[in-house]
Chain A
Amino acid sequence: MSIAKQALPTRTRLNIAWGILVAATGIGWWFGHAAQGDGAHNPIALAGVIVTAFFKAWIVGVEFMELRAAPRWLRHGYDAWIVAVAAALLWISLR
Protein backbone atom coordinates (compact mmCIF):
# COMPACT_ATOMS: atom_id res chain seq x y z
CA MET A 1 0.00 0.00 0.00
CA SER A 2 2.79 2.36 0.90
CA ILE A 3 4.51 1.55 -2.41
CA ALA A 4 1.30 2.34 -4.31
CA LYS A 5 0.96 5.59 -2.39
CA GLN A 6 4.48 6.61 -3.36
CA ALA A 7 4.27 5.28 -6.93
CA LEU A 8 1.19 7.20 -8.02
CA PRO A 9 2.75 10.62 -7.43
CA THR A 10 5.95 9.53 -9.21
CA ARG A 11 4.06 8.43 -12.32
CA THR A 12 1.86 11.50 -12.20
CA ARG A 13 4.97 13.66 -11.90
CA LEU A 14 6.51 11.93 -14.94
CA ASN A 15 3.31 12.56 -16.92
CA ILE A 16 3.30 16.22 -15.90
CA ALA A 17 7.00 16.53 -16.80
CA TRP A 18 6.29 15.15 -20.30
CA GLY A 19 3.40 17.64 -20.70
CA ILE A 20 5.64 20.54 -19.64
CA LEU A 21 8.37 19.39 -22.06
CA VAL A 22 5.94 19.21 -24.99
CA ALA A 23 4.48 22.63 -24.11
CA ALA A 24 7.99 24.10 -23.77
CA THR A 25 8.83 22.71 -27.24
CA GLY A 26 5.95 24.82 -28.57
CA ILE A 27 7.21 27.88 -26.68
CA GLY A 28 10.74 27.32 -28.01
CA TRP A 29 9.35 27.05 -31.55
CA TRP A 30 7.45 30.32 -31.03
CA PHE A 31 10.61 32.11 -29.87
CA GLY A 32 12.52 30.62 -32.82
CA HIS A 33 9.82 31.80 -35.22
CA ALA A 34 10.11 35.30 -33.75
CA ALA A 35 13.92 35.13 -33.96
CA GLN A 36 13.82 34.19 -37.65
CA GLY A 37 10.70 36.18 -38.57
CA ASP A 38 12.35 39.27 -40.01
CA GLY A 39 15.89 37.93 -40.23
CA ALA A 40 17.01 40.58 -37.77
CA HIS A 41 18.92 40.09 -34.55
CA ASN A 42 16.16 39.83 -31.97
CA PRO A 43 17.77 39.49 -28.54
CA ILE A 44 14.59 38.54 -26.67
CA ALA A 45 13.83 35.75 -29.15
CA LEU A 46 17.43 34.46 -29.03
CA ALA A 47 17.38 34.46 -25.22
CA GLY A 48 13.95 32.79 -25.26
CA VAL A 49 15.19 29.92 -27.46
CA ILE A 50 18.26 29.32 -25.27
CA VAL A 51 16.50 29.61 -21.90
CA THR A 52 13.61 27.38 -23.02
CA ALA A 53 16.03 24.70 -24.27
CA PHE A 54 18.02 24.61 -21.04
CA PHE A 55 14.84 24.64 -18.95
CA LYS A 56 13.76 21.53 -20.87
CA ALA A 57 17.17 19.89 -20.38
CA TRP A 58 16.91 20.66 -16.65
CA ILE A 59 13.44 19.06 -16.43
CA VAL A 60 14.79 15.92 -18.16
CA GLY A 61 17.63 15.75 -15.62
CA VAL A 62 15.60 16.39 -12.50
CA GLU A 63 12.52 14.31 -13.33
CA PHE A 64 13.50 11.63 -15.87
CA MET A 65 17.11 11.09 -14.74
CA GLU A 66 15.87 11.20 -11.13
CA LEU A 67 18.34 13.84 -10.00
CA ARG A 68 15.53 15.10 -7.75
CA ALA A 69 16.37 12.26 -5.33
CA ALA A 70 20.13 12.09 -6.05
CA PRO A 71 22.89 13.27 -3.70
CA ARG A 72 23.20 17.04 -3.69
CA TRP A 73 26.69 17.05 -5.29
CA LEU A 74 25.30 15.21 -8.32
CA ARG A 75 22.15 17.28 -8.65
CA HIS A 76 23.95 20.59 -8.16
CA GLY A 77 26.73 19.48 -10.51
CA TYR A 78 24.08 19.10 -13.21
CA ASP A 79 22.52 22.44 -12.24
CA ALA A 80 25.97 24.02 -12.60
CA TRP A 81 26.38 22.60 -16.14
CA ILE A 82 22.95 23.94 -17.13
CA VAL A 83 23.68 27.43 -15.76
CA ALA A 84 27.27 27.60 -17.08
CA VAL A 85 26.53 26.49 -20.66
CA ALA A 86 23.30 28.52 -20.91
CA ALA A 87 25.10 31.62 -19.57
CA ALA A 88 27.97 31.12 -22.04
CA LEU A 89 25.54 30.81 -24.98
CA LEU A 90 23.56 33.87 -23.84
CA TRP A 91 26.77 35.89 -23.50
CA ILE A 92 28.03 34.85 -26.95
CA SER A 93 24.66 35.42 -28.63
CA LEU A 94 23.68 38.71 -27.01
CA ARG A 95 26.92 40.64 -26.47
Chain B
Amino acid sequence: MTSSRRIPGELGIWLFVAGDLIVFGVFFVLIAFGQRQSTDVFVQSRAQLDLWIGVANTLLLLTASWFVATAVERHRQGERSACARLITLAMLCGAGFVANKAVEWSGKLQQGITPATNEFFMFFFVFTGIHLLHVLVGIGVLGILRGVSRKPEAGPHDLRTLESGATFWHLVDLLWIVLFALLYLL
Protein backbone atom coordinates (compact mmCIF):
# COMPACT_ATOMS: atom_id res chain seq x y z
CA MET B 1 0.00 0.00 0.00
CA THR B 2 2.85 2.36 0.83
CA SER B 3 4.10 2.30 -2.77
CA SER B 4 0.73 3.66 -3.99
CA ARG B 5 1.11 6.77 -1.86
CA ARG B 6 2.04 9.86 -3.88
CA ILE B 7 2.34 13.59 -3.46
CA PRO B 8 -0.68 15.35 -5.04
CA GLY B 9 0.72 17.87 -7.55
CA GLU B 10 4.29 19.14 -7.54
CA LEU B 11 6.54 19.12 -4.48
CA GLY B 12 7.11 22.87 -5.01
CA ILE B 13 3.48 23.76 -4.30
CA TRP B 14 3.71 21.87 -1.00
CA LEU B 15 6.80 23.87 -0.02
CA PHE B 16 4.76 27.02 -0.69
CA VAL B 17 1.85 25.60 1.34
CA ALA B 18 4.20 24.83 4.24
CA GLY B 19 5.60 28.38 4.20
CA ASP B 20 2.13 29.93 4.08
CA LEU B 21 0.86 27.71 6.90
CA ILE B 22 3.75 28.85 9.10
CA VAL B 23 3.17 32.56 8.29
CA PHE B 24 -0.59 32.34 8.87
CA GLY B 25 0.03 30.27 12.00
CA VAL B 26 1.86 33.32 13.37
CA PHE B 27 -1.03 35.59 12.29
CA PHE B 28 -3.51 33.34 14.13
CA VAL B 29 -1.41 33.42 17.31
CA LEU B 30 -1.19 37.25 17.09
CA ILE B 31 -5.01 37.50 16.88
CA ALA B 32 -5.42 35.19 19.90
CA PHE B 33 -2.87 37.21 21.92
CA GLY B 34 -4.65 40.44 20.93
CA GLN B 35 -7.98 38.99 22.03
CA ARG B 36 -6.44 37.88 25.33
CA GLN B 37 -4.87 41.28 26.04
CA SER B 38 -7.70 43.55 24.80
CA THR B 39 -10.76 41.35 25.24
CA ASP B 40 -13.26 44.22 25.53
CA VAL B 41 -11.97 45.98 22.40
CA PHE B 42 -12.09 42.71 20.44
CA VAL B 43 -15.60 41.76 21.62
CA GLN B 44 -17.02 45.25 20.89
CA SER B 45 -15.27 45.51 17.51
CA ARG B 46 -16.32 42.01 16.46
CA ALA B 47 -19.95 42.95 17.19
CA GLN B 48 -19.62 45.59 14.42
CA LEU B 49 -18.83 42.93 11.81
CA ASP B 50 -21.59 41.48 9.67
CA LEU B 51 -21.48 37.81 10.67
CA TRP B 52 -23.60 36.76 7.70
CA ILE B 53 -21.10 38.13 5.20
CA GLY B 54 -18.48 35.96 6.92
CA VAL B 55 -20.78 32.93 6.89
CA ALA B 56 -21.65 33.47 3.21
CA ASN B 57 -17.97 33.79 2.29
CA THR B 58 -17.16 30.60 4.22
CA LEU B 59 -19.86 28.68 2.35
CA LEU B 60 -18.67 30.12 -0.98
CA LEU B 61 -15.07 28.97 -0.41
CA LEU B 62 -16.10 25.55 0.95
CA THR B 63 -18.27 25.03 -2.11
CA ALA B 64 -15.55 26.27 -4.47
CA SER B 65 -13.11 23.78 -2.92
CA TRP B 66 -15.66 21.00 -3.35
CA PHE B 67 -16.07 21.94 -7.03
CA VAL B 68 -12.29 21.99 -7.55
CA ALA B 69 -11.68 18.65 -5.80
CA THR B 70 -14.49 17.09 -7.84
CA ALA B 71 -13.08 18.67 -11.02
CA VAL B 72 -9.71 16.98 -10.46
CA GLU B 73 -11.47 13.64 -9.94
CA ARG B 74 -13.54 14.14 -13.12
CA HIS B 75 -10.33 14.87 -15.06
CA ARG B 76 -8.88 11.55 -13.85
CA GLN B 77 -11.96 9.81 -15.25
CA GLY B 78 -11.49 11.52 -18.61
CA GLU B 79 -14.54 13.76 -18.14
CA ARG B 80 -12.68 16.89 -19.16
CA SER B 81 -15.65 19.06 -20.10
CA ALA B 82 -17.25 18.36 -16.69
CA CYS B 83 -13.89 19.27 -15.12
CA ALA B 84 -13.88 22.63 -16.95
CA ARG B 85 -17.49 23.35 -15.94
CA LEU B 86 -16.75 22.67 -12.27
CA ILE B 87 -13.70 24.94 -12.36
CA THR B 88 -15.86 27.70 -13.89
CA LEU B 89 -18.34 27.29 -11.01
CA ALA B 90 -15.48 27.48 -8.51
CA MET B 91 -14.28 30.72 -10.15
CA LEU B 92 -17.79 32.18 -9.79
CA CYS B 93 -17.76 31.27 -6.08
CA GLY B 94 -14.37 33.01 -5.78
CA ALA B 95 -15.77 36.09 -7.53
CA GLY B 96 -18.71 36.05 -5.09
CA PHE B 97 -16.23 36.03 -2.20
CA VAL B 98 -14.40 39.06 -3.63
CA ALA B 99 -17.69 40.93 -4.20
CA ASN B 100 -18.79 40.21 -0.62
CA LYS B 101 -15.44 41.44 0.70
CA ALA B 102 -15.75 44.63 -1.35
CA VAL B 103 -19.23 45.27 0.13
CA GLU B 104 -17.97 44.52 3.65
CA TRP B 105 -14.84 46.68 3.43
CA SER B 106 -16.55 49.63 1.73
CA GLY B 107 -19.29 49.53 4.40
CA LYS B 108 -16.70 49.63 7.17
CA LEU B 109 -14.73 52.46 5.53
CA GLN B 110 -17.96 54.48 5.06
CA GLN B 111 -18.62 54.09 8.79
CA GLY B 112 -15.16 55.54 9.43
CA ILE B 113 -13.73 52.17 10.51
CA THR B 114 -10.17 51.75 9.21
CA PRO B 115 -7.07 49.73 10.14
CA ALA B 116 -6.12 52.66 12.41
CA THR B 117 -9.36 52.36 14.45
CA ASN B 118 -7.97 49.80 16.89
CA GLU B 119 -5.91 46.58 17.12
CA PHE B 120 -8.83 44.35 16.13
CA PHE B 121 -9.55 46.25 12.91
CA MET B 122 -5.83 46.46 12.13
CA PHE B 123 -5.74 42.63 12.24
CA PHE B 124 -9.06 42.45 10.40
CA PHE B 125 -8.01 44.60 7.42
CA VAL B 126 -4.38 43.39 7.18
CA PHE B 127 -4.98 39.65 7.53
CA THR B 128 -8.17 39.48 5.47
CA GLY B 129 -6.41 41.74 2.94
CA ILE B 130 -3.48 39.32 2.63
CA HIS B 131 -5.99 36.49 2.34
CA LEU B 132 -7.93 38.42 -0.33
CA LEU B 133 -4.71 38.62 -2.38
CA HIS B 134 -4.54 34.82 -2.13
CA VAL B 135 -8.14 34.59 -3.39
CA LEU B 136 -7.37 36.84 -6.38
CA VAL B 137 -4.25 34.81 -7.26
CA GLY B 138 -6.32 31.65 -6.74
CA ILE B 139 -8.98 32.81 -9.22
CA GLY B 140 -6.18 33.42 -11.73
CA VAL B 141 -4.80 29.94 -11.05
CA LEU B 142 -8.28 28.46 -11.58
CA GLY B 143 -8.42 30.32 -14.91
CA ILE B 144 -5.21 28.57 -15.95
CA LEU B 145 -6.60 25.19 -14.81
CA ARG B 146 -9.76 25.84 -16.81
CA GLY B 147 -7.61 26.47 -19.88
CA VAL B 148 -5.71 23.21 -19.26
CA SER B 149 -8.93 21.23 -18.93
CA ARG B 150 -10.33 22.74 -22.16
CA LYS B 151 -7.35 21.87 -24.35
CA PRO B 152 -8.34 19.74 -27.35
CA GLU B 153 -5.91 17.00 -26.33
CA ALA B 154 -4.97 16.01 -22.78
CA GLY B 155 -1.26 16.44 -22.06
CA PRO B 156 0.94 14.16 -19.95
CA HIS B 157 1.44 16.80 -17.25
CA ASP B 158 -2.14 18.09 -17.09
CA LEU B 159 -3.10 16.09 -14.01
CA ARG B 160 -0.10 17.33 -12.03
CA THR B 161 -0.86 20.92 -13.06
CA LEU B 162 -4.49 20.52 -11.99
CA GLU B 163 -3.50 18.94 -8.67
CA SER B 164 -0.98 21.70 -7.93
CA GLY B 165 -3.44 24.50 -8.71
CA ALA B 166 -6.18 22.73 -6.75
CA THR B 167 -3.85 22.42 -3.75
CA PHE B 168 -3.28 26.19 -3.80
CA TRP B 169 -7.04 26.84 -3.95
CA HIS B 170 -7.69 24.50 -1.00
CA LEU B 171 -4.98 26.35 0.96
CA VAL B 172 -6.95 29.59 0.38
CA ASP B 173 -10.06 27.82 1.70
CA LEU B 174 -8.51 26.37 4.85
CA LEU B 175 -6.79 29.66 5.80
CA TRP B 176 -10.16 31.44 5.55
CA ILE B 177 -11.83 28.78 7.74
CA VAL B 178 -9.50 29.67 10.63
CA LEU B 179 -9.53 33.45 9.95
CA PHE B 180 -13.34 33.39 9.95
CA ALA B 181 -13.40 31.61 13.32
CA LEU B 182 -10.87 33.94 14.95
CA LEU B 183 -12.19 37.24 13.55
CA TYR B 184 -15.98 36.66 13.42
CA LEU B 185 -16.80 33.94 15.96
CA LEU B 186 -14.34 33.85 18.86
Which of A's residues lie within 8 Å of B, judged by CB?
Answer: 3-4, 7, 10-11, 14-15, 17-18, 21-22, 25, 28-29, 31-32, 35-36, 39, 41, 46, 49-50, 52-54, 56-57, 60-61, 63-67, 69-72, 74, 77-78, 81, 84-85, 88-89, 92-93
Subset of 20 A-B contacts with CB under 8 Å: A7-B76, A17-B69, A18-B66, A21-B62, A22-B59, A22-B62, A41-B39, A60-B170, A64-B65, A64-B66, A65-B166, A65-B167, A70-B7, A71-B5, A71-B6, A81-B21, A89-B28, A89-B29, A92-B36, A93-B186
Which of B66, B163, B166, B181 contacts A17, CB < 8 Å? B66
Question: A94 vs B112: C-alpha distance in the bound complex, in angstroms?
Answer: 33
The answer to whether residues A25 and B173 also contact, given A7-B77, A14-B70 and a CB cut-off of 8 A, is: no
Which of B's residues lie within 8 Å of A, judged by CB?
Answer: 4-8, 14, 18, 21-22, 25, 28-29, 32-33, 35-36, 39, 43, 46-47, 51, 55, 58-59, 62-63, 65-66, 68-70, 73, 76-77, 163, 166-167, 170-171, 173-174, 177-178, 180-182, 184-186
Which residues on A sit within 8 Å (CB–CB) of B22? 81
Which residues on B sit within 8 Å (CB–CB) of A89? 28-29, 32, 182
Which residues on A sit within 8 Å (CB–CB) of B69? 14, 17, 63-64, 66
Q: Is the interface of B mostly helix, strand, loop or mixed?
A: helix
Which residues on B sit within 8 Å (CB–CB) of A17? 66, 69
Question: A84 vs B43: C-alpha distance in the bound complex, in angstroms?
Answer: 25
Which residues on A sit within 8 Å (CB–CB) of B8? 65-67, 69-70
Q: Is the interface of A mostly helix, strand, loop or mixed?
A: helix
- In contact, A93 and B36 (Cβ under 8 angstroms): yes
- In contact, B5 and A72 (Cβ under 8 angstroms): yes
Which residues on B sit within 8 Å (CB–CB) of A41? 39
- In contact, A61 and B170 (Cβ under 8 angstroms): yes
- In contact, A85 and B28 (Cβ under 8 angstroms): yes
Which residues on B sit within 8 Å (CB–CB) of A84? 25
Which residues on A sit within 8 Å (CB–CB) of B46? 36
B71 CB to nearest A CB, Å = 10
The answer to whether residues A53 and B178 also contact, given A93-B35, A93-B186 and a CB cut-off of 8 A, is: yes
- In contact, A25 and B63 (Cβ under 8 angstroms): no
The answer to whether residues A35 and B186 also contact, given A57-B177, A66-B8 and a CB cut-off of 8 A, is: yes
